[in-house]
């Protein structure tokens, strides 16, 4: 089993020391990797830049021109919580390019699975708008690359970041080739991701949103994956599974209201790893999204890489959380009755 990681020191130039989404996030991951000793067991691949055609498959040209010029003129605040610097265009296109390179590596057989450890994150960026710390939608560029350049017909994106991946949903909402599944806290930023948002046109049924009450922990998430996400992806029969790997659902996260542990997150990754083995020769690609408690972030990435290597992630270095009696039963029951990918089984 060959697991690739893709990261680059140039991501650090996109940073704001007063912002939670800053260079220290990837530095914490690198530190955790060093301490874990895992670096020698994974294949380190160099990212490349996503080219204009790859970006334009997802974002409109005017948007790309505007963001590039904004960065070239020194950057600044794009909205209340999204910033850019003079180095952000380079970082953002290198982040998307890392995800593209991971697709190429996985589909060419260079590796079995991969983790793109990138910044800025991507899943809130819509086809024409930067928001939620995101400039370019990295995972959407990667999924389009798998479809356009490798001729895949069906891919699945699973988003376990604590926030709804509104940008990814926006980009693929009418697309019958990409299944987008998201678990997220609700009501919470960015306010989208209602369970009734299921896609439109050719994409009807290819969006599965599982909004969850605050405080859901390992058991609740595992239940949602077992009863909703896994059956839906299985029914979709993807040729590759991509994961918007955000770790802000961890109980220590300063932004997220959930109670996942490192072990709980690793279990979710394990389910997706097993499913990829069952459905698509193990082709599984994780792309980093959120995660703002540096210790939890590093630990979650190390545990995910252990899973990708086919190993047991071992004891939880931080510990488990008691979920405050939050139940996911009603969320599950209503989706099982109404969602096209689940109701007709
Ligand atoms: Zn997030």
- Helix, strand or coil for residue 31? helix
| Ligand 1 center–CA 290 separation, angstroms | 4
pLDDT, residue 227, reads: 98
The residue among 307, 156, 175 whose CA lies nearest residue 232 is 156
| Ligand 1 center–CA 265 separation, angstroms | 14
The residue among 61, 3, 1 whose CA lies nearest residue 302 is 3
- Helix, strand or coil for residue 1? coil
| Ligand 1 center–CA 77 separation, angstroms | 19
- Token pair in block for residue 97: 């390019």
Torsion angle of C-alpha atoms 163, 46, 152, 127, degrees rounded to 10: 40
- Token pair in block for residue 153: 């017909």
| Ligand 1 center–CA 269 separation, angstroms | 17
Confidence category of residue 162, pLDDT binned at 50, 70, 90: very high
CA torsion sign for 169, 174, 178, 182 is positive
Surrounding ion ligand 1 within 5 Å at CB are: 161, 163, 246, 248, 290
How far is 59 from 331, CA to CA, in rounded Å?
32
Average pLDDT over residues 64-74: 98
The residues annotated as belonging to the active site are 124
- Token pair in block for residue 27: 């530095």
- Degrees to nearest 5, angle at CA 246 with 171 and 134: 50
pLDDT, residue 321, reads: 83
Round the average pLDDT of the chain to a whole number and report it: 97
First-to-final CA distance of the chain? 34
pLDDT, residue 194, reads: 98
Confidence category of residue 344, pLDDT binned at 50, 70, 90: low
Confidence category of residue 65, pLDDT binned at 50, 70, 90: very high
pLDDT digits (tens, 9 = 90+) for 172-205: 999 999 999 999 999 999 999 999 999 999 999 9
DSSP 10: G
pLDDT, residue 125, reads: 98
Q: Which CATH number belongs to the domain containing residue 211 in this structure? A: 3.40.800.20
Strand partners, 115: 5, 286
DSSP 38: G
Give 60: exposed, middle or buried? Use CB within 10 Å, 0-12, 13-18, 19+. Answer: middle
How far is 288 from 282, CA to CA, in rounded Å?
19
Specify the pTM. 0.98
Q: Are strands 113-116 and 178-185 parallel, antiparallel or unpaired?
A: unpaired
CA torsion sign for 199, 155, 218, 321 is negative
pLDDT digits (tens, 9 = 90+) for 284-294: 999 999 999 99
CB atoms within 10 A of CB 106: 27
- Please count the structural domains in the chain: 1
Instruction: Kindly tell me if the per-residue pLDDT of 30 is higher than 70.
Output: yes
| Ligand 1 center–CA 123 separation, angstroms | 8
Domain hosting 182: range is 3-343
How far is 132 from 316, CA to CA, in rounded Å?
29
| Ligand 1 center–CA 271 separation, angstroms | 21
| Ligand 1 center–CA 214 separation, angstroms | 14
| Ligand 1 center–CA 171 separation, angstroms | 18
Place of tokens 């109701």: 343
How far is 300 from 102, CA to CA, in rounded Å?
20
- Count CA within 13 A, CB hemisphere, residue 132: 27
Least confident interval from 140-144, 154-158, 179-183, 322-326: 322-326
Confidence category of residue 345, pLDDT binned at 50, 70, 90: low
| Ligand 1 center–CA 108 separation, angstroms | 30
Residues near 138 by Cβ (< 8 Å), separated by ≥ 6? 95, 96, 98, 99, 116, 118, 121, 122, 123, 287
| Ligand 1 center–CA 151 separation, angstroms | 30
């Amino acid at each position: 089993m060959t697991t690739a990681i893709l990261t680059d020191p140039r991501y650090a130039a996109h940073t704001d020391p007063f912002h939670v989404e800053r260079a220290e996030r990837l530095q914490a991951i690198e530190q955790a990797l060093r301490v874990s000793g895992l670096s020698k067991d994974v294949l380190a691949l160099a990212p490349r830049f996503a080219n204009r055609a790859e970006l334009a498959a997802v974002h409109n040209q005017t948007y790309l021109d505007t963001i590039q010029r904004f960065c070239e003129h020194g950057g600044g605040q794009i909205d209340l919580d999204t910033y850019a610097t003079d180095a952000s265009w380079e970082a953002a296109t290198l982040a998307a390019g890392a995800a593209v390179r991971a697709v190429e590596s996985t589909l060419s057989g260079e590796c079995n699975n991969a983790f793109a450890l990138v910044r800025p994150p991507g899943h809130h960026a819509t086809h024409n708008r930067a928001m939620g710390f995101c400039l370019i939608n990295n995972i959407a560029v990667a999924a389009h690359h798998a479809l356009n350049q490798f001729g895949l017909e069906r891919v699945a994106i699973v988003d376990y970041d604590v926030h709804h991946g509104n940008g990814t949903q926006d980009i693929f909402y009418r697309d019958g080739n990409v299944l987008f599944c998201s678990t997220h806290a609700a009501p919470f930023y960015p306010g989208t991701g209602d369970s009734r948002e299921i896609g439109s046109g050719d994409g009807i049924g290819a969006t599965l949103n599982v909004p969850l009450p605050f405080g859901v922990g390992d058991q609740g998430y595992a239940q949602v994956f077992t009863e909703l996400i896994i059956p839906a992806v299985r029914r979709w029969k993807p040729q590759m599974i991509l994961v918007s790997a955000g770790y802000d659902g961890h109980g220590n996260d300063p932004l997220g209201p959930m109670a996942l542990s490192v072990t709980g997150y690793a279990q979710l990754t394990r389910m997706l790893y097993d499913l990829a083995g069952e459905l698509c020769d193990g082709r599984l690609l994780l792309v980093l999204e959120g995660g703002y408690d540096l210790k939890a972030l590093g630990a979650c990435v190390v545990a995910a890489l252990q899973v990708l290597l086919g190993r047991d992630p071992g004891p939880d270095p931080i510990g488990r959380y008691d979920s405050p009696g939050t139940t996911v039963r009603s969320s599950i029951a209503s989706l099982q009755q109404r969602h096209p990918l689940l109701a007709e089984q």
